[in-house]
Amino acid sequence: MSAKKRMRIALGLVAAGALALGLAACSGGNNDAGSGKDGGTSGDLTTVGFVAVGPEGAWREANEQNIQDTFTKDAGYDLKYAPATNLDQKSQIDAFTSFVDEGVDVILLSATEASGWEDSLKRAQEAEIPVILLDRGIEPDDDSLYITRIAPDNVEVAKEVGEWAAASFPDGGNYVVLEGPAGVGVVNERNKGFEEGLGDSSLNKVDAQTANWSTEEGKSVFETMLKANGNDIQFVFAQNDEMGLGAAQAAEEAGLKIGTDVKIATIDGTKNAMQALADGKLSYVHEYNPLFGETALDAVEKTLNGEDVDSYIVVPSQAFDSADAAKAALPDRKY
């Protein structure tokens, strides 16, 4: 029997025992408190420790706000939000350890870095505290140490970007990649998917550098790339919207026309990027849907009730490949 299965069974037994005690208490007829979550009193809340990333751009802000808006006291939860300090993994590990010591009911983890989590996850498992990964995975990926990962499929999303690029440049051309921070699993996943999508395309990769998810760094890095290559770059794959928007600024300042001289594709689908696509300042935007709070809530409730949960829950996301598509979608964008 796997460790994950044992944890679920143990949690199911705990829940069953709590329910039995609650029913016995109610049968006494002396409890005037209102009924709360799972038959408890109105003061009984499920405690959730959220080891978060914190400020990192529009996508992260939308995602973490959506989680906080979902796990509310009205829904029966006490969410303890712990963003990283300056994207530092040590601050996340410290927060994770504190949540284990505190004995929270469940931990939600959005990791700043993929590696280095084995000891923390094993400690949570020994304490019978289930862990659910939000967005980013871990490396090495041992799904016996967590219940599920909830995220769009980075590899598939980036693969669709690569396929679009290959189709858009049948005669080839030079391209560059603006990457997120080194050591983050999403960077590797998006590179892998993009290269799979390119296949045997004749596009020629001339450079790849990190721009740390930042508009400012995206602009400065692409400026340097343009100067180093005599403006002979026809395509930019920016691993997030902010870096792509920065590249667009650099391209325009260099006198390049976006869509004609250079095409720019991004991932995330924030309002700013969608507006830029509608205005012709980007060429392709693939959504990486951040609004999966309800999916996380369902996974938490199933876990605490001892029900099976898939080890990877893929959040559906769509692509926008034209200004018309962006204009049609903008009125309904929630982030």
**pLDDT tens for the 335 residues of the chain, in order:** 333 433 443 444 344 444 333 433 343 333 333 333 343 333 599 999 999 999 988 899 999 999 999 999 999 999 999 999 999 999 999 999 999 999 999 999 999 999 999 999 999 999 999 999 999 999 889 999 999 999 999 999 999 999 999 999 999 999 999 999 987 889 999 999 999 999 999 999 999 999 999 999 999 999 999 999 999 999 999 999 999 999 999 999 999 999 999 999 999 999 999 999 999 999 999 999 999 999 999 999 999 999 999 999 999 999 999 999 999 999 999 89
Domains of the chain listed by start with CATH number: 3-151+291-304 (3.40.50.2300), 154-288+320-332 (3.40.50.2300)
Looking at residue 57, what is its pLDDT?
86
Looking at residue 56, what is its pLDDT?
87
Nearest CA among 10, 279, 237, 288 for reference residue 127: 10
Say how far residue 61 (Cα) sits from the centre of its chain.
Answer: 11
What is the crossing angle of helices 293-304 and 58-70, to 10°?
A: 40
Neighbouring C-beta atoms of residue 276, cutoff 10 Å: 23
Looking at residue 183, what is its pLDDT?
76
SS3 179: strand
Nearest CA among 142, 163, 131 for reference residue 48: 131
Looking at residue 170, what is its pLDDT?
97
What is the C-alpha to C-alpha distance for residues 123 and 129, in angstroms, rounded to an integer? 9
Looking at residue 43, what is its pLDDT?
55
Residues 109, 134 contacting (CB under 8 angstroms): yes
**Residue found by looking up tokens 């300056």 in the block:** 86
Looking at residue 21, what is its pLDDT?
36
Torsion of CA 273, 274, 278, 280, to 10 degrees: 20
> What is the amino acid identity at position 287?
E
